[in-house]
Amino acid sequence: MATIKDIASKLGISVSAVSKSMNGASDISEELRQLVLDTAVEMGYSTKRSRKKENRKLALFIENMEYESTGDFGYDIVLGFKQSAFKGNWDVDVIPVTPTFQLENKYDTYLLSQGYSGAFIVGFALQDDWMKQFVSTTMPTVLFDNSIKHNPNTSYIGTDNYEGIDEAIDHLYKLGHTKIAFLNGSLHSMVSEQRQEAFLQGMKNHGLKVDKKLLAYGYYVADSARYHVPAFLENGATAIMCGNDLIASGVVEECKHKGLRVPEDISVIGFDDIPIASEMTPGLTTVNQNRSELGKGGYMILTSLISGIAISKSLLRPKLIVRGSTASVK
């Protein structure tokens, strides 16, 4: 576990500056204080700081998502949530769950018995047992990329898929592409549905025709590509938009396998901006989801629910990151 000395050494400042920052001393700038607190959480520093209230505890339940290493999709979501909670004087327990765990524990009862004031739900699937329980939960509950209708104790946070896909299409449009294919992720996922609708709307916004032969659902894995890319190419696609970066990495490989050059012969765009996007050759043009902000925003919305502000939905801005996988149409 990190000590104050470790933090000071990592940041290259004195131990007393770290200590003062932690205690909110008035001669420390706000920027430095925030940096020290962020770093402390990132390094696993923990202390029983004096708290006015007992039981200031939040739960972060996570499933179907890696989060323990820096390259994992969930890493920055979890870290951002913990960093914000630390500043707000809340303890956070990160609890990996399984379908069995959900069947064995009633959601509300579990939170109450463990003294949690609310929870952040990450990576759950529509068929999970707790998803049914969220419809009537009385506990403040924020869900990443899942939405519960009509229950004011729940809230949905995610990235604005509509704006993200629209920016991607706009980029391809300006490069002269008109025959744009879309290889989406899995059916029966809220996010896939939104990205599908966003693609149709984005094409319409740019006066482009959607060819049904250039539309397909796959799964959120690289292997999806080889089932759909051949048909896209036969039907004249000059660019392929993908449901996420993993799919896009498979699409790039499949195109190369078919003897095509990316981006000279075909442009490819991903979604998420996970580490492989910048590590691939060529680098992948993609729609960035800011996962640290998703975690911080999740905390903020959760504390709003706890204080009685019934926000049902919050979306973060996506950001198109242009790298080497897109170019002007031939």
Which of 274, 300, 302, 327 forms a contact with its own copies (CB under 8 A)? Answer: 300
Quick one: which H or E segment has residue 57?
strand 57-62
In this complex, which beta carbon is closest to its own copies, that of residue 128 or of residue 166?
166
Stretch that binds its own copies, among 11-19, 35-43, 124-132, 311-319 (CB under 8 A): 311-319
Strands 180-184 and 239-242: parallel
Cα dihedral across residues 194, 197, 199, 203: positive or negative: negative
Min dist CB 312 to its own copies, Å, is 5
- Residue 233 token pair: 């190419």
Task: Tell how far CA 127 is from the center of its chain.
Answer: 20
Min dist CB 112 to its own copies, Å, is 19
User: Does 161 interact with its own copies (rule: CB under 8 A)?
Assistant: no
User: Does 26 interact with its own copies (rule: CB under 8 A)?
Assistant: yes
Stretch that binds its own copies, among 90-98, 129-137, 245-253, 313-321 (CB under 8 A): 313-321
Which of 1, 48, 53, 54 forms a contact with its own copies (CB under 8 A)? Answer: 53
Min dist CB 9 to its own copies, Å, is 26
- Provide the 3-class DSSP secondary structure of residue 270: strand
Residues 254-293 that bind its own copies (CB under 8 A): 290, 293
Min dist CB 278 to its own copies, Å, is 20
- Provide the 3-class DSSP secondary structure of residue 257: helix
What is the Cα–Cα distance from 297 to 259, expressed in whole angstroms? 44
User: Does 317 interact with its own copies (rule: CB under 8 A)?
Assistant: yes
With b for 16 or more beta-carbon neighbours within 10 A and e for fewer, the 55-90 pattern comes to ebbbbbbbbebebeeeebbbbbbbbbbbbbbbeeeb
Min dist CB 211 to its own copies, Å, is 26
CA distances from 296 to 125, 230, 288, 329 (A): 22, 41, 16, 39
Q: What does the binding site for its own copies look like in residue numbers (CB under 8 A)?
A: 26, 30, 52-53, 149-150, 152, 160, 163, 167, 290, 293, 296-297, 300, 304, 308-317, 319
